[in-house]
C-alpha cells in the first residue's frame, strides 16, 4: 500500500517499505496504547509503505476482529484530522494469527504472511515469560534467516528478572539471531530530549569543557510519577521500582549524561561508550546497600483531594509485601572525568508531580565576591526536562536592578514546542522506524544489558540479605523522609519535586 502525503518531487526524509511486522502479544496494552498509534502515525506521515502488520496472540480473533480492534486504537484526538479513507488504507494492511506462542503451527503461517515482502520484523510485546518460546520457535522455523531479505527482532523490557535470567534470554537470542538483528528496546531512548543530550554536550563548545568533576558539583536524575501501580499489582510485585525503572530507563539517562564522546555516530561507537559507564560504577557490596540506597513504599492517603489506597491495599499485592515503589541511589563513577561527583538517582510512584529530568549542578565560583553583600548566590544548574514540557533550562544569577549588588536566580529556557513550532514524534514512532531501517543507535546491546543487571543484582541481593522493610511515604510527597540521608554527608540536598 503506497501513500505519500508530501508534495510531488519532495523526497521523504526516512522511509521503510516492503516489510511484514509481526507483533507477538498483539492483544495487550502495549499494542493498544503505543504500537498501533505509532505505526498509524508513521503511515500517515509517509514513513512506511507497502507493508503488512500481523498480530500474533492466543485470543481467537479473526482478521476482521483485529482490524476492528485496531480502529479503536487509532481513534484518538491527534488523528482526528486524518480522513476515514486513510485509516481504512491502514487497516487493510492488517492481519492476524491466532496461536499459542509455544505451538509451532502458528509460525508456519508467518512465512505465508511475509510472502512478497522483503523484510520481516518480529516485535516481542508478549509477557517476558514467553520470550524463550517465541525465540526458539522462530529459530526452528528458520524465520531468523535472512535469505535475501532482512529479519530483525525487537525485544521489550524487562529482559530478565536478574543477571542470570537476562543471560538466559540473551543466549537464546544469540542462538537464533545475529547480534546485528537484535533490537532491545528502551522507549526512553526514543524521547526527543534524551536524544538531544548528546548534541547538547558534544555539539556545543559551551558545555563540554565544564562537563567534569572540576566544575560539576553533583548530578541528579529524577523520574517521578503521580500515579500508583494502576491495577498492575501482580506485575509490580515481581518487579519493583529498581527493576522496572532504574535498571533500564534511569541507567540510560546516566550513561548519556556521563559517557565520553564517541569517535563517530556509528551505533556501536555510541553503545560502547555507554557500556564503559556501566562498568565504571563504583562496586557496591551487599553491606553497602543500606548506606547508598533508600527504598520506599507509598501508604494510603490523598492525592488531588481524593483518597488513594496504599500499595499494600492494591489488587494483586501481598499484604506483607516488601516491594519498593520508590528507590533512591547515590552512585559514583570511577572515571577520570567524574571522580568524586555524586550521581543521585530517584524514581517513584504517588509522588507530588510527574516529572523526568536531569539536573547538572555546577560548583560555586572560586571567590564568593557577591556574598559580602549578605546575599548568597544560588549555584548554577542545567536542567534537562524529558517530560512533561520537553526542553532545557539554565539557572543563573543576575543582579537585581537598583543600587545594591544583590542578585536573584533567573532562568534561560529552551522549549521544543515554542522553538520548533511542532511537537516531537512519540518515542515508539522513532524507535520502530529505526528498527525497520536497521539503525540500532537507540537500542541497547547485550553487554550493556548484562552490565546493568550485574550492578542491580548486587543491590537486590543486599536488600534480601538485610531483610529490612521499605520506608513508608505519604502520597503527594517527594518520597520517604529518610532519602535526605543520602545527601547530608556531602552537604547536598535533593531538588524539590
**C-alpha dist (Å) from residue 379 to 128, 192, 346, 368, 489:** 44, 27, 21, 11, 18
**C-alpha dist (Å) from residue 182 to 155, 172, 255, 285, 397:** 8, 11, 21, 32, 48
Q: In sequence order, what E strands does 230-387 have?
A: 293-298, 301-303, 306-308, 326-331, 343-348, 355-362, 381-387
Instruction: Find all residues with CB under 8 Å of 448, minimum gap 6, and list them.
Output: 255, 271, 274, 275, 278
Assigned C-alpha cell, 33: 496504547
User: Distance between CA atoms of 234 and 446, rounded to whole angstroms?
Assistant: 28
Of 454, 455, 453, 431, the residue nearest 443 (C-alpha): 431
Assigned C-alpha cell, 76: 484518538
Assigned C-alpha cell, 460: 537486590
Task: Answer for the pair 123, 154: CB distance below 8 angstroms, yes or no.
Answer: yes
- DSSP code for 208: G
Assigned C-alpha cell, 271: 553503545
Strands ordered across the beta sheet of 119-124: 94-98, 48-57, 16-24, 119-124, 151-155, 182-184
Of 231, 100, 435, 62, the residue nearest 70 (C-alpha): 62
User: Distance between CA atoms of 125 and 129, rounded to whole angstroms?
Assistant: 11
Helices 163-176 and 131-140 cross at an angle (nearest 10°) of 20
Reply yes or no: is the peptide bond before residue 388 cis, omega within 30 of 0: yes
Task: Name residue 387's beta-bridge partners.
Answer: 356
User: Distance between CA atoms of 453 and 278, rounded to whole angstroms?
Assistant: 10
User: Distance between CA atoms of 40 and 31, rounded to whole angstroms?
Assistant: 12
User: Distance between CA atoms of 116 and 360, rounded to whole angstroms?
Assistant: 51
| Catalytic-residue membership of 249 | yes
User: Distance between CA atoms of 270 and 351, rounded to whole angstroms?
Assistant: 33
Q: How far apart are the first and last CA of the chain?
A: 48
Of 17, 249, 375, 492, which one is the catalytic site residue?
249
Q: Which residues are catalytic?
A: 249
Amino acid at each position: 500500500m503506497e501513500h505519500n502525503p508530501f508534495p510531488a518531487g519532495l523526497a521523504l526524509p526516512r522511509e521503510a517499505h516492503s516489510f511484514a511486522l509481526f507483533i507477538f502479544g498483539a492483544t495487550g496494552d502495549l499494542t493498544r496504547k503505543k504500537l498501533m498509534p505509532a505505526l498509524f502515525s508513521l503511515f500517515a506521515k509517509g514513513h512506511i509503505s507497502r507493508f503488512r502488520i500481523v498480530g500474533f496472540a492466543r485470543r481467537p480473533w479473526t482478521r476482521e476482529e483485529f482490524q476492528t480492534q485496531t480502529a479503536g486504537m487509532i481513534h484518538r484526538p491527534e488523528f482526528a484530522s486524518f480522513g476515514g479513507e486513510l485509516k481504512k488504507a491502514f487497516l487493510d494492511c492488517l492481519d492476524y494469527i491466532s496461536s499459542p506462542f509455544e505451538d509451532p503451527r502458528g509460525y508456519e503461517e508467518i512465512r505465508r504472511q511475509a510472502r512478497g515482502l522483503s523484510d520481516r520484523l518480529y516485535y516481542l510485546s508478549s509477557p517476558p515469560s514467553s520470550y524463550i518460546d517465541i525465540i526458539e520457535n522462530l529459530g526452528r522455523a528458520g524465520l531468523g534467516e535472512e535469505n535475501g531479505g532482512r529479519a530483525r527482532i525487537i525485544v521489550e523490557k524487562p529482559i530478565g528478572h536478574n543477571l542470570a535470567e537476562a543471560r538466559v534470554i540473551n543466549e537464546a537470542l544469540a542462538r537464533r539471531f545475529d547480534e546485528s538483528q537484535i533490537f532491545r528496546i528502551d522507549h526512553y531512548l526514543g524521547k526527543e530530549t534524551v536524544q538531544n543530550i548528546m548534541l547538547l554536550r558534544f555539539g556545543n563548545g559551551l558545555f563540554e569543557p565544564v562537563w567534569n568533576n572540576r566544575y560539576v558539583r553533583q548530578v541528579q536524575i529524577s523520574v517521578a510519577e503521580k500515579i500508583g501501580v494502576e491495577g498492575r499489582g501482580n506485575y509490580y510485585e515481581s518487579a519493583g521500582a529498581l527493576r522496572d525503572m532504574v535498571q533500564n530507563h534511569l541507567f540510560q539517562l546516566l550513561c548519556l549524561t556521563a559517557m565520553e564522546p564517541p569517535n563517530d555516530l556509528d551505533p556501536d561507537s555510541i553503545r560502547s561508550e555507554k557500556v564503559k559507564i556501566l562498568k565504571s560504577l563504583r562496586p557496591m557490596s551487599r553491606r553497602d546497600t543500606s548506606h547508598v540506597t533508600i527504598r520506599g513504599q507509598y501508604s494510603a492517603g490523598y492525592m488531588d483531594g481524593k483518597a488513594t489506597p496504599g500499595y499494600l491495599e492494591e489488587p494483586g499485592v501481598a499484604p506483607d509485601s516488601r516491594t519498593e515503589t520508590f528507590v533512591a541511589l547515590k552512585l559514583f563513577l570511577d572515571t577520570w572525568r567524574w571522580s568524586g561527583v555524586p550521581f543521585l538517582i530517584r524514581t517513584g510512584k504517588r509522588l507530588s508531580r510527574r516529572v523526568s529530568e536531569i539536573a547538572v549542578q555546577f560548583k560555586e565560583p572560586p571567590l564568593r565576591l557577591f556574598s559580602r553583600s549578605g546575599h548568597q548566590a544560588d549555584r548554577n544548574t542545567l536542567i534537562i526536562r524529558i517530560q512533561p514540557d520537553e526542553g532545557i533550562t539554565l539557572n543563573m544569577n543576575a543582579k537585581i536592578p537598583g543600587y545594591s549588588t544583590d542578585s536573584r536566580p533567573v532562568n534561560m529556557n529552551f522549549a521544543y514546542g515554542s522553538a520548533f513550532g511542532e511537537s516531537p514524534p512519540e518515542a515508539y514512532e522513532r524507535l520502530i522506524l529505526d528498527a525497520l531501517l536497521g539503525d540500532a543507535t537507540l537500542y541497547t546491546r547485550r553487554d550493556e544489558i548484562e552490565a546493568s543487571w550485574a550492578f542491580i543484582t548486587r543491590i537486590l541481593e543486599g536488600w534480601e540479605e538485610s531483610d529490612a522493610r521499605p520506608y513508608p511515604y505519604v502520597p503527594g510527597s517527594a518520597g520517604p523522609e529518610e532519602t535526605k540521608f543520602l545527601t547530608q554527608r556531602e552537604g547536598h540536598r535533593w531538588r524539590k519535586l
